[in-house]
Amino acid sequence: MADQKTFDGGFEHSVVAWNGSREATRAVAEALPYLKKSKAVTVLRIGAETESILSAVQDDRLVAYLRKHGISALLERVPHKGFQDIATVLIDEVVARKGDLLVMGGYGHSRLREWLLGGTTYRLLRKCPISLVMAH
């Protein structure tokens, strides 16, 4: 979570990691005060689903929702080639855009699966180099 000084002044560039999930939707709603104070907002859709009709509709609805709240957001779709985990791709994309806030939904798996395979949520909580707003 961002400190009060950062919040008072706003963020330079907030990035929303968007996959259309309930968790991502909740994260956006919870982060609205931060997003409203951001100078720039980018919505990132990462993954193979970036080309589906359903994802396009979800993306358009999110951008319209943000616009309704006075937030002008740029939508960017980034294909995932599959050889990197999503957490690494997200961090790379946020750093490339000079983001200083990441908003995303968090999803938990069983302890065994997390221990064996790891997870995006776990990796980002441990390695995210910027402020992170996450909702489950």
pLDDT of 112 over the 50 cut: no
Token pair 């999930």 is at which residue?
21
pTM for this model (two decimals): 0.82
Provide the percentage of residues in the chain whose pLDDT is more than 90: 46
Residue extents of the structural domains in the chain: 38-97
d(CA 84, CA 88): 6
Asked whether residue 118 carries a pLDDT value surpassing 80, the answer given is no
3-state helix, strand, coil in the chain (%, to 5): 50, 20, 30
